[in-house]
């Protein structure tokens, strides 16, 4: 528990130099029937708290999850900017949150951190299902250029969807170096989009322009709550 509290303090007080978004993830194996309790505990703590160029996301893990993890807590901030004011959450309130989490979590899982290289914001209430690909790539700059071309070319298809690309810098899951994320309504919505795009020769050409890519794994998460 002390480890998690210290980890959280690091997230909200980090002060670096570059103006880029970063994230840290903590995976958990929740005890049965505690999802509502976890959401309530975070809501009681962070609802109405002003976030400064960052936020916190609670997610339920779905298809493709590993190591028994059921949920994730994602902290996002801008490098060089505190996620929230130092006095936004009292020490007592923060301690109470993690004490409650100790009652709801059966096992603390993997932790990993990275940066967000490309991001299109979307409607995560309408499109709350997230498909994430963990990948290994040779040339991040080449991949980003190709990724951004795809998002621009198919902006109508990606309208309302979060489309993200970034790096894993610490605690790389399964050795992946980077990730791509895309939101949609549900599995069927995702697969209908893939079916449409993959029938377009230009899309296949742009995929190839990103350079060599090794797929490590892919999985789904469901956004339960965002505090931002």
- From residue 119, alpha-carbon distances to 18, 19, 149 in Å are 16, 14, 13
The CATH number given to 116-221 is: 3.30.70.100
pLDDT band at residue 159 using 50, 70 and 90 as cut-offs? very high
pLDDT of residue 89: 81
State the alpha helices, DSSP H only, in the chain: 2-13, 35-46, 91-104, 140-153, 187-198, 201-208
pLDDT of residue 16: 36
- Give the mean pLDDT of the chain: 91
User: Which one is predicted more confidently, 152 or 50?
Assistant: 152
What's the Cα-to-Cα distance from 151 to each of 102, 119, 147, 157, rounded to whole Å? 41, 10, 6, 9
- Domain 2-114 has what CATH class? alpha beta
Band of residue 32 on the pLDDT scale cut at 50, 70, 90: very high
What are 61's two structure tokens?
């893990």
pLDDT of residue 108: 96
171 Rama sector, left if φ>0, alpha if ψ -120 to 50, beta otherwise: left
- Whether 2-114 and 116-221 share one fold: the answer is yes
- Per-residue confidence (pLDDT) for residue 6, from 0 to 100: 39
Q: Give the pLDDT score at 94.
A: 85
Contact indicator for 42, 97 with CB cutoff of 8 Å: yes
Contact between 81 and 52 under an 8 Å Cβ cutoff? The reply is: yes
CB-neighbour burial class of residue 205 (10 A; exposed 0-12, middle 13-18, buried 19+) = exposed
- Cα separation, 5 vs 3, in Å, equals 6
Whether the predicted pLDDT of 9 surpasses 80: no
* Sequence spans of domains, the chain: 2-114, 116-221
Return the pLDDT at 13.
Answer: 38
User: Which residues, 6 or more positions from 110, have their beta carbon under 8 angstroms from its beta carbon?
Assistant: 25, 27, 67, 69, 171, 173
The pLDDT score that the predictor gives to residue 188 is 97
Q: Which pLDDT score is estimated for 122? A: 96
Q: Indicate the pLDDT class of residue 128, thresholds 50, 70 and 90.
A: very high
This prediction has a pTM of 0.89
Mean pLDDT confidence for 67-93: 88
Percent share of the chain, pLDDT over 70: 92
Phi and psi based region of residue 211 (left: phi greater than 0; alpha: psi -120 to 50; beta: remaining):
left
In this predicted structure, what is the pLDDT of residue 1? 46
What is the mean predicted confidence (pLDDT) over 152-161?
98
Q: Is the distance from CB of 61 to CB of 70 less than 8 angstroms? A: yes
94, 46 contact by CB (below 8 A): no
């Amino acid at each position: 528990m002390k480890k998690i509290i210290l980890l959280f303090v690091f997230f909200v007080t980090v002060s670096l130099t570059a103006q880029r978004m970063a994230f840290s993830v903590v995976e958990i194996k929740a005890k049965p029937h505690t999802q509502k309790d976890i959401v309530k505990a975070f809501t009681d703590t962070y609802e109405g708290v002003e976030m400064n160029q960052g936020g916190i996301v609670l997610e339920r893990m779905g298809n493709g999850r590993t190591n028994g993890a059921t949920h994730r807590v994602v902290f996002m901030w801008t490098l060089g900017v505190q996620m929230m004011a130092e006095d936004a959450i009292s020490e007592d309130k923060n301690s109470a949150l993690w004490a409650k989490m100790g009652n709801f979590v059966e096992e603390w899982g993997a932790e990993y951190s990275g940066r967000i290289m490309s991001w299109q914001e979307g409607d995560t209430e309408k499109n709350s299902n997230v498909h994430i690909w963990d990948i290994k790539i040779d040339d991040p700059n080449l991949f980003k250029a190709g990724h951004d071309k795809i998002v621009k070319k198919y902006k109508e298809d990606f309208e309302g969807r979060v489309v993200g690309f970034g790096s894993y810098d610490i605690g790389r899951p399964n050795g992946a170096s980077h990730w791509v994320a895309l939101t949609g309504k549900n599995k069927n919505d995702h697969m209908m989009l893939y079916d449409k795009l993959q029938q377009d020769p230009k899309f296949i050409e742009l995929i190839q322009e990103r350079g060599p890519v090794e797929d490590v794994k892919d999985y789904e998460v469901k956004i339960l709550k965002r505090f931002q």
